[in-house]
C-alpha cells in the first residue's frame, strides 16, 4: 500500500498546519478565556510578510550573495518576529479593551478585525485580490524511498512544524515564562499576587501564538505555491475547530484535534468517491458532532457553570 503511506504523509502535513494555528487558539483561550477569530488571518499575514521579505532579500541581492540556508533562515526568522509582533498589536488594540465586557463584544470585534486584515491585503497589497505566487524557499528536489516519492519541500514543512510544536511545548512546560503563562491561565488574580505581570504575560502569549500562525501561513504557501488574501478565513475556522475538537485550552488537545481534522479531510478526499468537493463538509460535521456530544473536546476538562 504505497499509496496509503503517501496519503498518511499528506494528512500529517495538513494536520501540522492546523495544529500550528490551533495552538494559538488554545494558548489565548487558556490565558484570558477569549477566542481571537482573526487568528487565521494572522496566519495569512505571515505568508504575505514572508513574500515581502523574500522580495526585499532579492532586491538587495542577498539571495545571490548569501548561501540559501542563511537567507531562508533570515526570511523565516523575521517573518516569525513580525507576525508575532502584529499579533501583540492586535491584542492591544482589539482584545484588551473588551476584557471586562460581555463576550459578545470581543467575539464581534475580532471577527471585524479579521475582515480588516483580509480586506487590507486585498485592497492595499499590489494585485492583492489575485492569488500571489509564493517564493520557493526550500530545495525543489524529490527522492524515492522504496516505491514512495517524497518531495524535499514537504519533508521540510513537516520537519519545521514538528520542531516548532515541540519547541512550543518545551517553552510552555519547562521555562519560567511558560510557567507564568500557565499560572495566569489558572487564575489571573492569584498569579499577579505571585509577582507575575499579567499584561506582559498576555502579550508574550499572543506573541508566541501569532508566531506559530505566521509559520503556518508560510508552510501553507510553500505547499500550495500560491496564497490568497482569503485563505485565513477557512484556515482560522479549521484551526479553531481543531482546538475545540481537542479541548480548547489544552495544548495536547490542539495537537490531537489538528490530527483528527487533517486525517478526516485527507482520507475523505482520497477514499470517498467525489469526496474532494465535500471534504470541508465532513470536517465540519465532525466538529459539530464534538461540540454537541463532547463540548469539552477530546482532552479538555468538563467545565461546570457557576453562578
Partner 1 sequence: MKKGPAGLLLLLFLESLFFALVLVFLVVEEIIPILAVILGTVVLSFVLVKYERLNAFLQDLFSHYRKTAVAWGLIFVLALPFILHDSPYLIHLLFLSGLFAVLAIGLDFQVGSTHLVNFATAADYGVGAYTAALLAVNFGWSFWIILPLSGLAAALFGFLLGLPTMKTKTYYLSLVTIAVGLIIYLLLNNLSWTGGSDGIAGIPYPTIGGFSLGNSVRLFGMELPFQANFYYLVLGILFLEFVVARRLYQSKIGLAWNAIRDDEIAAACQGIDVTGSKIMAFYTNAFFDGLAGAIYAFNVGFIAPENFAFMLSVIVVTMVIIGGMGNVTGVIFGAVIMTLIPEKFQVVQSYRLWLFALIIIIMLLARPKGLFPQKTRQYA
Q: Which residues bind partner 1 (CB under 8 A)?
A: 35, 94, 97-98, 101-105, 107-109, 111-116, 119-120, 123, 233, 237, 240-241, 244, 248, 277-278, 280-281, 284-285, 287-288, 291-292, 295, 305-307
- Rounded to a whole number of angstroms, the minimum distance from the CB of residue 129 to partner 1 is 9
Nearer to partner 1 among residue 74 and residue 128 (C-beta): 128
- Rounded to a whole number of angstroms, the minimum distance from the CB of residue 1 to partner 1 is 29
Nearer to partner 1 among residue 116 and residue 163 (C-beta): 116
Are residues 9 and 154 in contact, defined by beta-carbon separation less than 8 angstroms? yes
Taking the C-alpha atoms of residue 271 and residue 244, their distance in angstroms, rounded to an integer, is 26
Q: Which three cell numbers stand for residue 299?
A: 482532552
Taking the C-alpha atoms of residue 248 and residue 102, their distance in angstroms, rounded to an integer, is 19
Are residues 41 and 232 in contact, defined by beta-carbon separation less than 8 angstroms? yes
- Rounded to a whole number of angstroms, the minimum distance from the CB of residue 155 to partner 1 is 32
- Rounded to a whole number of angstroms, the minimum distance from the CB of residue 35 to partner 1 is 4
Nearer to partner 1 among residue 161 and residue 205 (C-beta): 205
Are residues 152 and 141 in contact, defined by beta-carbon separation less than 8 angstroms? yes
- Rounded to a whole number of angstroms, the minimum distance from the CB of residue 57 to partner 1 is 30
Q: Which three cell numbers stand for residue 303?
A: 467545565
Nearer to partner 1 among residue 271 and residue 278 (C-beta): 278
Q: Is 226 helix (H, G, I), strand (E, B) or coil?
A: strand
Are residues 43 and 37 in contact, defined by beta-carbon separation less than 8 angstroms? no
Main-chain dihedrals φ then ψ at residue 247, nearest 5 degrees: 115, 100
Nearer to partner 1 among residue 50 and residue 268 (C-beta): 268
Taking the C-alpha atoms of residue 3 and residue 148, their distance in angstroms, rounded to an integer, is 8
Nearer to partner 1 among residue 189 and residue 305 (C-beta): 305
Residues 6+ apart with CB under 8 A from 177: 171, 201, 204
Taking the C-alpha atoms of residue 258 and residue 11, their distance in angstroms, rounded to an integer, is 10
- Rounded to a whole number of angstroms, the minimum distance from the CB of residue 31 to partner 1 is 15
Amino acid at each position: 500500500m504505497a499509496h496509503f503511506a503517501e496519503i498518511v504523509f499528506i494528512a500529517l502535513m495538513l494536520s501540522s498546519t492546523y495544529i500550528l494555528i490551533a495552538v494559538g487558539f488554545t494558548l489565548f483561550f487558556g490565558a484570558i478565556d477569549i477566542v481571537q477569530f482573526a487568528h487565521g488571518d494572522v496566519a495569512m499575514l505571515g505568508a504575505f510578510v514572508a513574500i515581502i521579505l523574500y522580495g526585499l532579500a532579492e532586491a538587495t541581492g542577498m539571495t545571490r550573495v548569501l548561501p540559501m540556508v542563511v537567507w531562508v533562515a533570515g526570511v523565516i526568522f523575521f517573518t516569525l518576529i513580525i507576525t508575532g509582533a502584529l499579533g501583540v498589536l492586535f491584542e492591544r488594540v482589539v482584545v484588551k479593551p473588551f476584557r471586562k465586557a460581555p463576550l459578545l463584544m470581543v467575539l464581534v470585534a475580532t471577527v471585524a478585525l479579521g475582515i480588516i486584515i483580509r480586506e487590507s491585503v486585498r485592497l492595499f497589497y499590489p494585485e492583492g485580490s489575485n492569488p500571489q505566487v509564493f517564493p520557493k524557499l526550500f530545495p525543489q528536489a524529490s527522492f524515492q524511498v522504496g516505491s514512495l516519492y517524497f518531495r524535499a519541500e514537504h519533508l521540510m514543512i513537516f520537519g519545521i512544524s514538528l520542531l516548532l510544536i515541540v519547541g512550543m511545548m518545551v517553552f510552555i512546560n519547562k521555562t519560567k515564562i511558560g510557567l507564568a503563562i500557565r499560572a495566569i491561565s489558572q487564575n489571573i488574580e492569584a498569579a499577579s499576587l505571585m509577582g507575575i505581570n499579567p499584561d506582559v504575560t498576555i502579550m508574550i502569549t499572543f506573541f508566541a501564538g501569532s508566531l506559530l500562525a505566521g509559520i503556518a501561513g508560510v508552510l501553507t504557501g510553500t505547499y500550495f505555491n500560491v496564497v490568497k488574501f482569503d485563505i485565513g478565513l477557512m484556515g482560522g475556522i479549521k484551526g479553531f475547530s481543531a482546538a475545540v475538537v481537542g479541548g480548547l485550552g489544552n495544548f495536547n488537545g490542539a495537537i490531537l484535534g489538528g490530527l483528527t481534522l487533517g486525517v478526516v479531510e485527507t482520507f475523505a478526499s482520497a477514499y470517498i468517491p467525489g469526496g474532494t468537493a465535500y471534504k470541508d463538509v465532513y470536517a465540519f460535521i465532525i466538529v459539530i458532532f464534538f461540540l454537541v456530544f463532547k463540548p469539552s473536546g477530546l482532552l479538555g476538562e468538563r467545565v461546570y457553570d457557576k453562578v
